């Protein structure tokens, strides 16, 4: 599965700079040699006894048959998520219209390369077609009407990829720190939309692994509510198998003890734990940390300091942060099913445009030239 792509390894090293290589001691050369060896093997292979190593990527890579990126994905990852194409608005843009072209390519790529596949996501408040919450006259849809649409969407989609898609993010971002998100789903159907979605997905594919996925999962309020929901689902026999912690984190947040506490709490409930959308932003912020997609801030150059490249000390902090995270993931390897990065290379990360458009962020393992970064080497070195 892990075929090395054509790549001049010395190219990769040249970005570090000839001078620094000349000055490096024997220990550094040894670790470099290890990292180069790891790169030819791939992270998925290095972590194969621990958990899946996944990546999300956009449909454009498949539609353009971007061989360079597809090569990296095949070499480094054994689980794939589609960044946007399985969202309601993409796959069923109106009540009677489905789009399956890029989605079929995604599934074929996964099958051809023997990859674990994740469908993201069946039910979310965001990225839904405008018509979803309206009836034929343009008024707010009735509860019965919306339940019908929910049933049709989940059954059709899960059934289409039955036996191929291994896991689904069944519901995304429905729980807040102090209660249920006041979304159209809750307002129109009530909070039972959630169990309905899980039951439907299970009905359509009884072997699919079903996940509840959310951000800010380190927050105690959220953790407690998710645990309560899991307990309730288990008691009532509603099929739920995993909890996804998105993992959009920064260099100084969250407190990793709290993040770990949530991993432990979900594992203690017998849930498989998935890190579903990992990326580490290095950029400063003056807003509350969030992955709430409706947040939008006006551009400020002071919050975009690394347009000319990442300073060495920040690069080191990034690698250290990834190591801290991976040490926790390895500690919970018995419950940890998968660690998925929300993207492959920095140039393609959503973080460059969220919550402020036009910034230069460095959250992922591969740089803008698609070469592995220090954080890649650091994660690989943990499996020495």
Active site residues: 173, 277
Minimum Å distance from CB 349 to ligand G3I? 8
Interior CA angle at 377 toward 16 and 18, to 5°? 15
Rounded to 5 degrees, φ, ψ at 358 are: 85, 20
The minimum distance between CB 246 and ligand G3I, in angstroms, equals: 5
**Which positions from 142 to 161 touch ligand G3I by CB under 6 A, shown as an x/- string?**
--------------------
Q: Which is nearer to ligand G3I, 142 or 296 (CB)?
A: 296
Element (H, E) at 341: strand 336-341
How many residues touch ligand G3I under the rule CB under 6 A: the total is 11
Which tokens go with 333? 């390897």
**378 contact partners, CB below 8 Å, separation of at least 6:** 319, 320, 322, 323
Indicate the angle between helix axes 220-235 and 256-268, nearest 10 degrees: 10
The pair of three-digit structure tokens given for residue 7, joined into one six-digit string: 């790549």
Task: Using CB under 6 A, pick the residue from 155, 256, 293, 303 that binds ligand G3I.
Answer: 293
Single out the segment in contact with ligand G3I by CB under 6 A; choices: 20-28, 80-88, 142-150, 228-236.
Answer: 80-88
Instruction: Work out which of 7, 84, 184, 304 binds ligand G3I, going by CB under 6 A.
Output: 84
Burial pattern 347-376, b for ≥16 Cβ within 10 A else e, equals ebbbbbebbbeebbbbbbbbbeebbbbbbb
Beta strand 52-57 with 179-180 is unpaired
Inter-residue contact 268 to 309 (CB < 8 Å): no
Q: Candidates 12-20, 31-39, 79-87, 201-209 — which segment interacts with ligand G3I by CB under 6 A?
A: 79-87
Minimum CB distance to ligand G3I smaller for 21 or for 293: 293
- Cα atoms in the 13 Å half-sphere on the side-chain side of 7: 23
Shortest spacing between CB 172 and ligand G3I, in angstroms: 6
Q: 12 vs 274, which CB is nearer to ligand G3I?
A: 274
Which of 185, 193, 350, 376 binds ligand G3I (CB under 6 A)? It is 350
Complete DSSP assignment for 164-177: T--EEEEEES-EET
DSSP assignment letter at 298: -
Query: Minimum distance from CB of 351 to ligand G3I (Å)?
Result: 8
Least distance (Å) from ligand G3I to the CB of residue 103?
14
State how far the Cα of 176 lies from the Cα of 219, in Å rounded to an integer: 9
In whole angstroms, the minimum distance from the beta carbon of 8 to ligand G3I comes to 31
Residue nearest to ligand G3I (CB): 350
CA angle, residues 70, 243, 53, in degrees to nearest 5:
25
For residues 301 to 340, the per-residue mask of contacts with ligand G3I, x marking binding by CB under 6 A and - elsewhere, is ----------------------------------------
**Which position among 92, 246, 348, 360 is part of the footprint of ligand G3I (CB under 6 A)?**
246
Rounded CA separation 35/362 (Å):
20
127 binds ligand G3I (CB under 6 A): yes
Binding piece for ligand G3I, criterion CB under 6 A, among 82-90, 174-182, 308-316, 358-366: 82-90
Q: Which two tokens stand for residue 106?
A: 């995604």
The smaller minimum CB distance to ligand G3I, of residues 7 and 126, is found at 126
Please, which residues bridge with residue 97 across strands? 94
Return residues touching ligand G3I (CB under 6 A): 83-84, 87, 127, 172, 215, 246, 277, 291, 293, 350
């Amino acid at each position: 599965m892990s075929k090395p792509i054509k790549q001049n390894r010395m190219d990769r090293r040249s970005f570090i700079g000839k001078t620094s290589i000349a000055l490096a001691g024997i220990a550094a050369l040894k670790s470099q040699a290890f990292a180069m060896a790891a790169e030819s093997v791939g992270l998925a292979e290095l972590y194969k006894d621990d958990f899946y190593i996944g990546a999300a990527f956009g449909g454009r890579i498949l539609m353009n048959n971007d061989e360079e990126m597809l090569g990296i994905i095949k070499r480094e990852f054994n689980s794939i998520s589609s960044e946007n194409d399985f969202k309601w608005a993409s796959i069923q843009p109106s009540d009677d219209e489905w789009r399956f072209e890029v989605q079929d390519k995604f599934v074929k790529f996964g099958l051809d390369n023997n990859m674990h596949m994740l469908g993201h996501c069946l039910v979310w408040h965001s990225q839904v077609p405008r018509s979803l919450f309206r009836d034929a006259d343009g008024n707010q849809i009735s509860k019965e009407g919306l339940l019908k649409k929910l049933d049709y969407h989940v059954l059709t989609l899960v059934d289409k990829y039955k036996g191929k898609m291994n896991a689904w993010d069944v519901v995304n971002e429905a729980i807040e720190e102090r209660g249920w998100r006041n979304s159209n789903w809750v307002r129109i159907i009530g909070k039972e939309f959630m169990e309905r979605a899980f039951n439907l997905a299970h009905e359509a594919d009884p072997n699919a692994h079903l996940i509840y996925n959310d951000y800010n999962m380190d927050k105690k309020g959220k953790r407690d509510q998710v645990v309560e929901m899991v307990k309730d689902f288990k008691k009532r026999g509603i099929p739920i198998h995993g909890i996804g912690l998105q993992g959009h984190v920064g260099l100084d947040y969250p407190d990793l003890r709290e993040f770990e506490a949530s991993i432990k709490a979900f594992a203690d409930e017998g849930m498989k734990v998935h890190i579903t959308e990992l990326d580490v932003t290095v950029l400063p912020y003056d807003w509350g940390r969030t992955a709430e997609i409706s947040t939008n801030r006006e551009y400020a150059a002071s919050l975009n300091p690394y347009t000319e490249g990442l300073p060495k000390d920040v690069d080191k902090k990034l690698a250290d942060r990834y190591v801290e995270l991976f040490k926790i993931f390895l500690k919970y390897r018995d419950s940890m099913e998968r660690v998925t990065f929300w993207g492959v290379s920095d140039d393609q990360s959503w973080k460059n445009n969220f919550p402020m458009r036009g910034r230069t962020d460095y959250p992922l393992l591969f740089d803008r030239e698609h070469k592995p970064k220090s954080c890649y080497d650091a994660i690989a070195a943990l499996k020495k």
